[in-house]
Amino acid sequence: MNELHRIAPLPLALTLLFLIVSGIAVAAPEASSATASDSSVVINEVESNGDPAGDWVELANTDPSDSVDVSGWSIIDDDDSHAPVILPADTDIESGGYLAVYTEPSFGLGSNDSVTLSDADGTVVDETIWSGHAATTWGRVPDMTGDFAVTGEPTRGLRNVAEGANPGSPGDPADAWPYDPQDISPVALTDDHGGDLVSDFIAEDMSGVDFGSDGTAYVVNNDEGTLYALTPQDANSYHIDSRHQLRYEDGSGLPDAEGVTVGPDGALYVATERDNSSKDASRPSVLRFELSGGGEAGPAAGELHATDEWNLAEFTGEIGANGGLETIAWISDADDSALFAVGVEETGDVLFVALAEDEATLVQRYEAPFEGVMASDYDAATGELAILCDEACDGASQVLVTGEGGFGPADETIYARPEGMDNLANEGYARRVDAGGTERFLWTDDGATDGVGLRGAVRSAGEVPGDLPSDPTGSLGSTSSSAA
């Protein structure tokens, strides 16, 4: 789960206060802010004019490891006669996470106004002052740590974007994505299990997605540590075959399931950041699961216990609990191991690792041009590995192919997100062409924008762009090391 890009889970009472910074109107405000305590919580973004639902204030927890209890904290504007907004009991902001709060009906925010955040004891934690409504929102740039300025766009619950920035590209503006299917829409889902698994896909936290060789789509939820198996139907629709609760090898925990790929043996390999039963500790592991019997695995129906775990902390280096393994793609088999590409959120690295029965070997490290690598998809027919950023990079992507030195960019092109796709918190992407020539696409939106966690497209297969190598097992040469 990319909590740096999402609002932390809240009690029902607090959802009524929900909101975050949105567009505002004209003049550039005068910057002024101060932090009056040692708290890791800051005011991160303010919407004073442009959101039809009302004005809001976004708080952020800059601590990469620990959650902060903000129960009883208060938010007030520059008028002491107004009743402050008091955050309800049991309100936490997770490590690296956001909390957006509507200020109305308690008070609205004016064009020349301020916001002050105080803790439960009344100690001022942070404040910001502005003159004139911002054309977009008023927020910290860079996100969480910078001074206040007019932002490039409203980003409630997401990283702030600088005015005029194109964060997806290290240089020239992003090029049009050659596979763009144009017509992208919410996926139509059905299930016949007596429950309502369809409703699971209107909430936040859907993350990785991948297609199996038979066309089955697998989706993981990073908050609940769950796995879904979906069978494609006509057009852009899928049937939900099963839902599974993932566990570690000993049957414990709630793996923070961020990415999923189908391996050479038909098993599922899941990239995780941590155990959600202990959210303040990093655990950047790849877990292997065997899916059989409709979920009747482990002591409880619907549970799947990992058969293997590979902790990649030696290769990621020291990272925050919420900055670990975000995506995974199976590349090829080699002798007694299998090669996978694993994306790291915090560092923006792609780790090419060979996973054997009792060890993980780092074969190559690729430093992506993105703030974080959030999704990936490998096409064995063309040898293309697509790596994607999320809304922090405006949905940009890059294509890697094999060469004498290992995987690297086919060229320096950075691709824009699909033309018909808004700037969403997409943490999963999968593309497949079946034997009949039908081309299917799926994207998972961690933020469930407009109540949609899964979007897709279907069309006749297009041509592969450019002159790309077709050997998916090309030579990989780089520094390697091992970890049990």
> Where in 250-348 does DSSP place strands (E)?
255-262, 268-275, 285-289, 303-305, 308-311, 325-334, 337-344
Q: Which residues of the chain have pLDDT under 50?
A: 1-36, 167-172, 293-301, 463-484
List all residues 6 or more positions away from 460 whose beta carbon is below 8 Å from its beta carbon.
437, 438, 439
- What single-letter DSSP state applies at residue 278? S
Contact criterion met (CB below 8 Å) for 293 and 304: no
Q: Which domains does the chain have, with CATH numbers?
A: 3-150 (2.60.40.1260), 185-483 (2.115.10.20)
Sign of the alpha-carbon dihedral angle for 302, 306, 312, 318: positive
- What single-letter DSSP state applies at residue 321? T
CA–CA dist 242, 23 (Å, integer): 41
**Residue pLDDT, tens place only, 32-74:** 444 446 899 999 999 998 787 889 999 999 987 788 999 999 9
Q: Which residues of 379-402 are buried (b: 16+ CB within 10 A; e: fewer)?
A: beebbbbbbbbbbbbbbbbbbbbb
> Where in 67-134 does DSSP place strands (E)?
68-69, 74-76, 85-86, 92-93, 98-102, 112-118, 124-131
How far are the Cα atoms of 168, 248, 305, 376, 401 from residue 268, in angstroms, in the given order?
30, 14, 12, 15, 23
How far are the Cα atoms of 88, 271, 363 from residue 11, in angstroms, in the given order?
8, 28, 44
**Residue pLDDT, tens place only, 105-133:** 899 999 999 999 999 999 999 999 999 99
**Unique residue bearing structure tokens 């910074």:** 21
Q: What's the pLDDT score for residue 193?
A: 78
pTM score of the predicted model: 0.70
Q: What is the pairing mode between strands 32-35 and 124-131? A: antiparallel
Q: What's the pLDDT score for residue 91?
A: 95
Q: Coil, strand, or helix at residue 104?
A: coil
Structural element, H or E, at residue 219: strand 217-221
Q: Which two tokens stand for residue 126?
A: 């942070």
Q: Which two tokens stand for residue 186?
A: 């919410």
10 Å Cβ neighbour count for 458? 17
Q: Which two tokens stand for residue 451?
A: 């109540």
